[in-house]
Amino acid sequence: MNQSFLKTQIRVWAIAFAASLALAGHSLAQNGTDPNLVPEIEQQNSTNGQLKQRQLEAAPVAPKVDPQEEVAYKAFYNTKSQDADTRIQLGQAFVQKYPTSHYNESVYAGLTQAFYMKQDWKDFYASSDKALTLNPDDIPVLVTVGWVIPHALNPNDPDASANLDKAERYEKHAIELVGTMVKPGSMTDDQFAQSKTSLLSQAHSGLGLVYFRRQDSDDSVKELQQATQSAANPDPTDYFVLGLGLQSLSRYAEAADAFNRCGQIPGALQDRCKQSADAAKKQAR
């Protein structure tokens, strides 16, 4: 591995990625969604919440629930996922009023999604920690947190290395759990397969960014290749970082292809990816 080249590229990527986050934040504020990525995460978490609601309602030995608690829970999950402010208000009110509710893990999972939409990382992590304390095997929460950590990481944070370890642990655990998932009766075989594929793609994406942050190009490339090959709507950042990793491994033709794919996706990285594709093509000659 050419460490000097990789470090230079990491600095370049960090600038571009910061711009990408800024644009995503503007898009969230204006439209309630990041056109490149958020819909996929929204769909995963929304589906997860709906499934939990159906499962809890259908549970044969579910504990008795106060009718008002049931109404409050359904109001929370009937709120559109794009309406993060309302979800946060209803969710926080619910867990405060019903601190021992068997719905709380599901509510904290929904709050995790809502704070993600707001890019409120402090409350995002606090909610996800509570969700995972109640259910350490909540796959969508594990996947989402493991993906956010390397994307939102401050390299100068004294806990940066420990946070990357946490993200790696979460994504690997999620991948193991996906392999043992049982199809809910409310889902078709195709829906279930698509859900598993989406979760795995997101988990491999998170791992790819974790390894990139550690300057481990070999493992980063392997994970990001899996992420982009299976994603219905690949994240341009994955293609861009994949290209950087391939460049650092002197696999220039493959790097040019990754950059080209990134350059075909509208967004903050599009122009930089096109420029990087041209540079990689020259290196491949």
Break the chain down into helix, strand, coil percent, rounded to 5. Answer: 75, 0, 25
Q: Which two three-digit tokens encode residue 60?
A: 């044969």
Provide the token pair at 218.
């070999």
Contact 220, 239 (CB under 8 A): no
Name the residue among 225, 218, 187 with its Cα closest to residue 204: 225
Contact between residue 132 and residue 141 where contact means Cβ atoms under 8 Å apart:
yes
Q: What is the pLDDT along the chain (285 residues), one digit of tens a residue?
A: 444 444 444 444 444 443 443 333 333 323 222 334 444 554 455 545 544 544 444 444 456 778 899 999 999 989 988 899 999 999 999 999 999 999 999 999 999 999 999 999 999 999 999 999 999 999 999 999 999 999 999 989 999 999 999 999 999 999 999 999 988 888 899 999 999 999 999 999 999 999 999 999 999 999 999 999 988 888 999 999 999 999 999 999 999 999 999 999 998 899 999 999 999 999 988
> Which tokens go with 283?
């290196």
Full-model pTM: 0.81
Domain ranges of the chain: 39-135
Q: What is the rounded CA–CA span in Å between residue 283 and residue 285?
A: 6
Whether 153 contacts 160, CB under 8 Å: yes
